[in-house]
Amino acid sequence: MGLEAFNLKPLSRSNINISPNAIIGEGVRIGDNTVVHDGVEIGAGSIIGSNCTLGEPLTASYSDSNYVQPSTVIGKEAVIRSHTILYAGSTFGAGLHTGHHAVIREHCTIGDHCSVGTFGDLQGHITMGNHCRLHSSVHLAQGTRLGSFVFIYPFAVTTNDRFPPSTETIAPMIGDYTQIGVHAVILAGVHIGKHCLVAANATVNRDAADHSFLVGSPAVLKGDVRELVDAGGHPLYPWPARFDRGMPWKNDL
């Protein structure tokens, strides 16, 4: 057990409510007014902001006297910013970052080094590989599946119901390295390949092959991302080639 008061001088932390059945790793720091529920495990070196709720009990707990709280595992060195709510029953790899006010519902399986920005809204049962980055205000429908290195920008949304309301839903799948622009809409059941670029405000209503550059509402295939060049004529995509070859993706290009 390694809980210590958040070391920011000159505030002494107050009103932290931690279940005796939570497991707090070495060197974890927790801010004011945060609640850590039963069955939560926080990895060593993590920083938890103020006013958070970790291990929020599922809706079933409201009325089911036999409710069993599922475990919640937060990997080492997480940074969970203030007013974030993580439901019980999810597993997060190492290096999770959240922005402020993020909400992540139950039964998500998130890899290492992923981030969910301010006002992020993950509706549960979501899977993510490693190194995904959701900027602010991304809404992912229940069941959405992301590969690794998927980056999604503000107000983008995935949906899981084409003709609402329905009792059967099917969520989208987005491949490795794909970039989803601001205000993009990915409709129910769509599969987007690897290394794609979805433009700002596009509405994607059918599957897209690897390297697709998608534009418009409904989105059309504008070209292959490998045709996009910068002002100097250098190719822009696949984007990992623009960064250091020593990065984690060096074997994937």
**Interacting stretch for its own copies, rule CB under 8 A, among 106-114, 124-132, 136-144, 245-253?**
136-144
Interactions with its own copies, residue window 28-57 (CB under 8 A): 31-33, 35, 37-38, 47, 50-51, 53, 56-57
User: What is the phi/psi pair of residue 122, to 5°?
Assistant: -105, 120
**Interacting stretch for its own copies, rule CB under 8 A, among 27-35, 106-114, 124-132, 245-253?**
27-35
Which residue lies nearer to its own copies by CB, 56 or 112?
Answer: 56
Structure tokens at 35: 């609640």
Structure tokens at 173: 């799948």
Exposed, middle or buried, 154 (CB in 10 Å: 0-12/13-18/19+)?
Answer: middle
Q: Is 242 helix (H, G, I), strand (E, B) or coil?
A: helix
Interactions with its own copies, residue window 138-197 (CB under 8 A): 139, 151, 153-155, 157, 159, 163-167, 179, 181-183, 185, 187, 197
Q: How far is the CB of 109 from its own copies (least distance, A)?
A: 21
Give every CB contact of residue 166 below 8 A, 6+ residues apart in sequence: none
Q: How far is the CB of 64 from its own copies (least distance, A)?
A: 12
**Interacting stretch for its own copies, rule CB under 8 A, among 108-116, 124-132, 237-245?**
237-245
Given candidates 230, 232, 246, 251, which one binds its own copies under the rule CB under 8 A? 230
R_g of the chain computed on alpha carbons: 20
In 3D space, the residue among 27, 21, 82, 76 whose CA is nearest the CA of residue 50 turns out to be: 82
